[in-house]
Structure 1
Amino acid sequence: MVLRPPVEPMLAQARDTVPAPGRLPGELRYQPKFDGYRAIVFTPWPAPGPLLVQSRRGSLMQSRFPEFVAAATHLPDGLVLDGELVVWADGHISFEALQQRAVLGGRAAARLAQEMPAHFIAFDLLQIDGKELLHVSYGERRAQLERLFTDRELSAPWTLCPETTDPSTAKEWLASWTQVPGVEGLVIRGSGQRYLTGARALYKVRRRDTTEAAVGAITGTMRQPQTLVLGRLDETGALRPVGRSTPLRPDAARDVAERLTPAGPGHPWEGVRFTASWRSRTPLDAALVEPELVAEIMVDTALERGSWRHPVRFVRLRQDMAVTDVPPFGAGAASASS
């Protein structure tokens, strides 16, 4: 069977800690988790044709990234690569720049390819020379992927994802590499795994740090809050939204409910329209509260324009802190905790 788009990528399930050996078939392999778009690259087979770049959801987006099309001559025909598409801007991997690139084509895409070049970080090989490899173990697929990069002397925009089998090295990557914008954590695979399209058969561990934010709104009711909408003060003293929590545990919901005060006139978020998730258009039914409670939260590294793209985790209320003690808007995971 020759693979053609769309192909559902193999996905990962979230874990809080690096798993112990034996949780996946074969030897554990650790790779950095980059903050980009999942993509699958297809070179033509058997007849000549264009390079195709498929998004995670199956749409084709090669017209947005002409540098990949131009570099297709370095790849053999009949190849299918799974990886992460990232954009380099202002000296680091930028998710915001990637979003901008993903919606512009034509002359704008050609210009941005020069100003904000994209890179494809390959971490799996699904087909080579027209031969599908989904049934082959990951260890063998990785060996063939490494040979491809060596034999073809591939360079930017094609990048081979780093990998280690050493748990100590992986934990060091999780602690240190995630300090660099664009690296979120780890993806863990088993060397004996087949490629299971659409299945959450891998593990991912995001770096999480503890910090603080003010509670400006809730979902649910005042007696039974479900999630928190959080904010921080900017340099002008205005409360800016920075994220939303995952659902509260029952004990945490009771603790928060006892201390909430419904918002009075003049709340800084009056008239603000909240959405259910990052980039969603679905409205969020949120009730404003007086922004006087401070929540300690656990966050990952996916911060964009001062806000966290993924839901944050509520840890506890910080009754020893005032809203003015919270790190300012844009400070990321900086913490005021003592």
Structure 2
Amino acid sequence: MTWSLPEPMLTVAVDSPALPAGWTAEPKWDGFRAQLAVHASGRVLLRSRQGTDMTGSFPEIREAALAQLPADTGLDGELVVWESGRLAFERLQQRLARRGTGAVEAARQWPAHYVVFDLVHAGGDVTGWPYQRRRAALEALFADHGLEAPLTLCPSTTDPATARGWLEWTAAGLEGLCFKRLDEPYRPTRSWRKYKVRVTTEAVIGAVTGSLTAPRTVLLGRYDIAGRLQYTGRSTTLSQHIGRALAAVLTPPMGGHPWQGWTFSSGWGTQRTLDVVLVEPKVVLEVAVDVARDSAGRWRHPVRPHRIRTDLDVAQVPLFGEDDTSI
């Protein structure tokens, strides 16, 4: 008999890290969401949230699944890669493009771990079980079969103090917390909650999308130790209030611009080039950022504009590459 993995259960963002009564908390990892199936036929499927087959890109996960998991097992979790004591999302992106011997070599260079946080199939469909029962069965699966790396059991707690303590892991790339109701079955809805750690920091506006009179988003930079303005990230869509305020202070470049001739992508997963307008890099913007970074230290997700810092000179902005996400 064959069976299929269910559609993944999804999250909705919340603004508070407080753990509600009747819920459990888990660390939110900076990786690839992935479901893993081991069929009785010996077929292994590692599937992304969008349904992409990633099995060939992560041979070490496939081998561990075949060697350690019982047949007819379905799991939900997160693929992560550690590098220099920090989660390295960009290595996952590089791994995803490799197949065959290239994937084997990449597995040696940047080995992945599969952090398991849910059980969806155990000899039969268990998605109708409440989370608490699925979690107990998942812990028993790890204990009874001696599962070990690269298969890893995600921590889970109903203790608010323990959950808050996990937020101190942001220096290692932990993004925040996930909250799951103890009595809820596994369903393809946005019923889980996620809290992402954000801090405010500053950057220099180097360009905008839209126009100088009606900017839509801003492209931000920071100076490196050699005095070069490096691109560090893009904002979310500006509010009308901030857009009007920026239109009053942004000016065209006076002479050459450090980003002259550069091109900017509209975001990860697309090759579309942004149409940008360069500005004189003299305006400092305070933004709210999360912990996700690429290998160069740029913000991987769009940042939220907070306010214009007319009281700050660009020389007072943190240098490119400095860590500003400690809490």
1:86 aligns with 2:80: yes
| CA offset digits 1:73-111 (Å, max 9, x no partner) | 210111000000011233332212222222112222222
**Structure 1: runs of 5 or more not aligned:** none
Given that 2:42 and 2:71 are in contact with CA atoms closer than 8 Å, whether structure 1 keeps it comes out as no
Given that 1:233 and 1:239 are in contact with CA atoms closer than 8 Å, whether structure 2 keeps it comes out as yes
Change (3 A) 1:54 1:93: same
**Counterparts in 2 of 1:39-188, with a 5 A limit?**
39-45=34-40, 48-71=41-64, 72-129=66-123, 131-174=124-167, 176-180=168-172, 182-188=173-179
| Matched AA of 1:35 | D
| Matched AA of 2:222 | R
> Cα offset for 1:8?
2.6
Task: Tell me the equivalent position of 2:310.
Answer: 319
Query: Structure 1: which 4+ aligned runs deviate by more than 3 Å?
Result: none
Aligned length: 324
Given that 1:3 and 1:80 are in contact with CA atoms closer than 8 Å, whether structure 2 keeps it comes out as no
Given that 1:39 and 1:85 are in contact with CA atoms closer than 8 Å, whether structure 2 keeps it comes out as yes
Given that 2:33 and 2:77 are in contact with CA atoms closer than 8 Å, whether structure 1 keeps it comes out as yes
Given that 1:138 and 1:194 are in contact with CA atoms closer than 8 Å, whether structure 2 keeps it comes out as yes
Given that 1:50 and 1:69 are in contact with CA atoms closer than 8 Å, whether structure 2 keeps it comes out as no
Given that 2:170 and 2:325 are in contact with CA atoms closer than 8 Å, whether structure 1 keeps it comes out as no
| CA offset digits 1:249-299 (Å, max 9, x no partner) | 222222222111123441112221122223421222222111100111111
Change (3 A) 1:334 1:63: closer
User: Could you tell me how far apart the structure 2 residues matched to 1:108 and 1:240 are?
Assistant: 32
1:208 aligns with 2:198: yes
State the identity as a percent.
Answer: 44
User: Could you tell me how far apart the structure 2 residues matched to 1:93 and 1:248 are?
Assistant: 30
> Cα offset for 1:206?
1.0
> Cα offset for 1:334?
6.5
Task: Tell me the equivalent position of 1:18.
Answer: 17
Find the partner of 2:243 among 249, 253, 256. Answer: 253
> Cα offset for 1:60?
1.2
| Matched AA of 1:171 | R
Report SS of the residue matched to 1:81. Answer: strand
Task: Tell me the equivalent position of 1:189.
Answer: 180
User: Could you tell me how far apart the structure 2 residues matched to 1:20 and 1:68 are?
Assistant: 32
| Matched AA of 2:279 | V
Task: Tell me the equivalent position of 1:240.
Answer: 230
Given that 1:40 and 1:80 are in contact with CA atoms closer than 8 Å, whether structure 2 keeps it comes out as yes
| CA offset digits 1:218-261 (Å, max 9, x no partner) | 12232222211100112322211111111222222222221111
User: Could you tell me how far apart the structure 1 residues matched to 2:187 and 2:117 are?
Assistant: 15
User: Could you tell me how far apart the structure 2 residues matched to 1:168 and 1:2 are?
Assistant: 43
1:268 aligns with 2:258: yes
Find the partner of 2:23 among 23, 28, 38. Answer: 28
Given that 1:138 and 1:191 are in contact with CA atoms closer than 8 Å, whether structure 2 keeps it comes out as yes
| Matched AA of 2:11 | A
